[in-house]
């Protein structure tokens, strides 16, 4: 579980996040949405410790991040998995070497132990016999699955995904969404996803936080977002005619 209380982050005289509260639960996929410039990226970077808010607290399972000592900070880094936009694989490393990379950094396991773990997570993301391939030999969807395997190889408690469906076709995006949700549930990970993909919102949004101008404008589930009368959310989520029709069909069916 990750709890955020009263977060405020500024750059110079510009306040980017204003008094944001949030609770991300274990075993659930939580999505952060909002217009470009709404504060989504700064918010997720603050959770990761890449930015330091001047006000508020961030607690990981009850431990306030800014109060951790060096050993505790190192352990927290090991407990976090990250799926970057564009996958961010090392082009010169094979699939096997990419996935093994965090283990080489943070553990003292033998090569055979690391390889066993690599094979386990590659099997979990449906990538068998891809060990010796290089990223350039893989499709975008396969690269994303390698990135997910690398993110979970250390058995993280917390998983962060930045635009995981960026650049993927709709069918592949659905596969990646389902995989992230399955892994979140299976391993009871606290998962936070920064996304613009409204299909993801509808499919795996067990919790959704909508940011507008650095303020938490709305929060709820993918069921509740159909019923909201918050104009900012409706304008953002249902900007396309397709989603307007889906929302109207849902409202008609449930009224």
Residue 118 to residue 146: CA distance in whole angstroms:
10
Q: What is the pLDDT of residue 180?
A: 94
Q: What is the pLDDT of residue 123?
A: 93
pLDDT digits (tens, 9 = 90+) for 73-83: 989 999 999 99
Q: What is the pLDDT of residue 249?
A: 65
Angstrom distances, CA of residue 81 to CA of 77, 102, 106: 8, 10, 13
φ/ψ of 8, rounded to 5, equals -135, 130
Beta carbons within 10 angstroms of residue 69's beta carbon: 8
Give the residue-averaged pLDDT of 14-28: 95
pLDDT digits (tens, 9 = 90+) for 31-54: 999 988 899 999 999 999 999 999
91 DSSP assignment: T
DSSP secondary structure letters along 146-194:
HHHHHHHTT--SEEEEESTTTT--HHHHHHHHHHHHHHHHHHT-EEEEE
Contact 199, 240 (CB under 8 A): no
What domains can you pick out in the chain, each with its CATH number?
2-79+157-254 (3.40.50.300), 92-155 (no CATH)
Rounded to two decimals, the pTM is 0.89
Contact 79, 116 (CB under 8 A): no
DSSP run (H or E) holding 68: none
């Amino acid at each position: 579980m990750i709890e955020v209380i009263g977060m405020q982050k500024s750059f110079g005289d510009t306040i980017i996040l204003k008094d944001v509260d949030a609770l991300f639960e274990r075993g659930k996929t939580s999505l952060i949405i909002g217009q470009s410039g709404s504060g989504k990226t700064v918010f997720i970077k603050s959770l990761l410790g890449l930015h330091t808010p001047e006000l508020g607290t961030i607690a990981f399972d009850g431990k306030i991040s800014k109060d951790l000592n060096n050993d505790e900070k190192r352990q927290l880094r090991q407990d976090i998995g990250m799926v970057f936009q564009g996958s961010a694989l090392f082009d010169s490393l094979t699939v096997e070497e990419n996935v093994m990379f965090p283990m080489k950094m943070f553990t003292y396991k033998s090569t055979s132990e690391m390889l066993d773990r690599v094979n386990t997570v590659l099997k979990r993301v449906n990538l068998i016999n891809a060990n010796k391939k290089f990223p350039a030999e893989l499709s975008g969807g396969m690269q994303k699955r390698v990135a997910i395997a690398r993110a979970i190889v250390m058995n993280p408690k917390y998983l962060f995904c930045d635009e995981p469906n960026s650049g993927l076709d709709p069918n592949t995006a659905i596969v990646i969404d389902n995989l992230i949700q399955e892994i979140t549930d299976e391993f009871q990970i606290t998962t936070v996803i920064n996304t613009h993909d409204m299909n993801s919102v509808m499919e795996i949004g067990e919790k959704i936080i909508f940011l507008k101008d650095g303020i938490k404008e709305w929060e709820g589930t993918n069921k509740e977002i159909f019923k909201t009368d918050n104009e900012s959310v409706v304008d953002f989520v249902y900007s396309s005619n397709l989603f307007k029709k889906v929302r109207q069909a849902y409202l008609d069916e449930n009224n």
